[in-house]
Amino acid sequence: MPEDGYEWKKYGQKFIKNIQKIRSYFRCRHRLCGAKKKVEWHPWDPSGYLRIVYEGAHQHGAPEAAAAPPGAQLQGGGASSNRYELGAQYFGGARSQ
């Protein structure tokens, strides 16, 4: 579980045959928060390729650590239907930063 600065609660995990990847479903610890996060990775990939997909925006204060990851502070928009696709983020070793 790579920490991106926010607090998440895992509520599900399924293997998507369509892409042959495992997808974990995370939700913000606050029920009133419409922020969600999906992480998918290759179960047999020893590298550490993780695709973090952020959905929605946090409706409560965000931790200072949240300002660490690039592109994660796209809060300046609308809590309607903004999809934060941070694309392929590399955690666990391939981080250049």
Partner DNA sequence: AGCCTTTGACCAGCG
Partner DNA sequence: TCGCTGGTCAAAGGC
Q: Count the Cβ atoms, other than its own, within 10 Å of residue 81.
A: 9
- Quote the least distance from Cβ 80 to DNA, whole Å: 16
| Distance from C-alpha of 20 to C-alpha of 96, rounded to nearest angstrom | 27
Using the rule CB under 7 A, is 10 a contact of DNA? yes
Tokens standing for residue 48:
């550490």
Q: Which of 1, 46, 83, 96 binds DNA (CB under 7 A)?
A: 1
Applying CB under 7 A, the span of 25-33, 59-67, 68-76, 77-85 interacting with DNA comes to 25-33
| Distance from C-alpha of 54 to C-alpha of 87, rounded to nearest angstrom | 10
Interacting residue ranges for DNA, rule: CB under 7 A: 1, 7-14, 16-19, 23, 25, 27, 29, 36, 38
